[in-house]
A and B are shown apart, each in its own frame.
Chain A
Amino acid sequence: MATLFVDKLDPQSGTALEIGSSGDTITIPSGATITNSGTANNFGGDNTPMFKASMSGNQSIANETFVKGAFNTEIFDTNSAYDTSNYRFTVPSGKDGKYCFVSLTAIDNLDSGEAQSSAYYINGSIDNLSYNTQWVSKGTNGFGVVNNVFIKTLAAGNYVELFVSHNEGASQNLSATYSSFSGYKLIT
């Protein structure tokens, strides 16, 4: 193997410099350091798709019923993967991978011993590993928020929805002021 000793590589013409060809492996050996002081494109990923949605108004949640959160307002949606008509995030083509979902769901008027829950549904079915419940200990009319963080490996076409429930006894509002549904692809 020949060794090329130079201090700098520049393109012979123009401004584009290509190293190697398709199928080649470029290796930085152990103990060596590569430093980027410019712009690095397509290294490490960028956490997209990424979305966040809220609600335009409070949503009535029936007692003892898992109700899909009607998050009908996009705050951001990098890949147009969130649908405000059915409140669903769908993994776009070519975006298989691990995703992190984060939600805040707030329900008012809960009394001591009552609970509120949230869970993510994958392709229409509850994922029990995402089930999150908060029991209220305040005497009467407590206001609680469930913070639900959930990581899931998903493939293109898989869709994710957020459902909430409570056992107050009568219908109660999911607060538009404090509730949101968001998610993003993890860099792996």
Chain B
Amino acid sequence: MASLSSKITAYASANGVSSVDFTKDVSLQDDSNGQGPYIKEWNLAIAKPSDAELTAAETAADAAEALATVYTARRQAYGSVESQLDLQYHDSKDGTTTWVDHVAKVKTDNPKS
């Protein structure tokens, strides 16, 4: 099940808001009393979502979280910028395709769907 922040982001996107700042636009809170997270403050111009609207945003939120997981895995697998630049340097010098092959493998190993 998607997190409340992901569902709100999906709901906002569907209503014309491209990004949500959770330090200013919307404040979420969990009082650790077993009730789970809830919307503490809502400062966006669009209406605060109902429970039904949040439930409707679940599918899009799940997809966004899955995609974020893929991007996180790819980011880790790509390696540091320094190591990739080193691969590119040697490719230019030696006429090899090590860096392109590496990136292609990372993408293949971590598909978006």
Binding site for B on A (CB under 8 A): 59, 62-70, 86-87, 111, 139-141, 163, 167, 169-171
Q: Which residue of A lies closest to B82 (CB)?
A: A139
> A169 and B72 in contact (CB under 8 A), knowing A62-B4, A64-B5, A65-B5?
yes
Q: Which residues of B contact A67 (CB under 8 A)?
A: 29-30, 32, 37
Q: Chain B CB within 10 Å — which of A62, A70, A111 has the most? A: A62
A-B contacts, 13 listed (Cβ < 8 Å): A62-B3, A64-B5, A65-B4, A66-B28, A67-B29, A67-B37, A68-B31, A87-B32, A111-B72, A111-B75, A140-B75, A163-B29, A170-B69
The one of B30, B69, B75, B80 that contacts A66, using a Cβ cutoff of 8 Å: B30
In the bound complex, CA of A111 to CA of B3 (Å): 19
Beyond A62-B3, A62-B37, A63-B3, whether A140 also contacts B30 by CB under 8 A is no
Report the bound CA distance from A67 to B36 in whole Å.
Answer: 9
Task: Say yes or no: is B76 at the interface (Cβ < 8 Å to chain A).
Answer: yes
Q: Give Cα A85–Cα B30 distance, bound, in whole angstroms.
A: 15
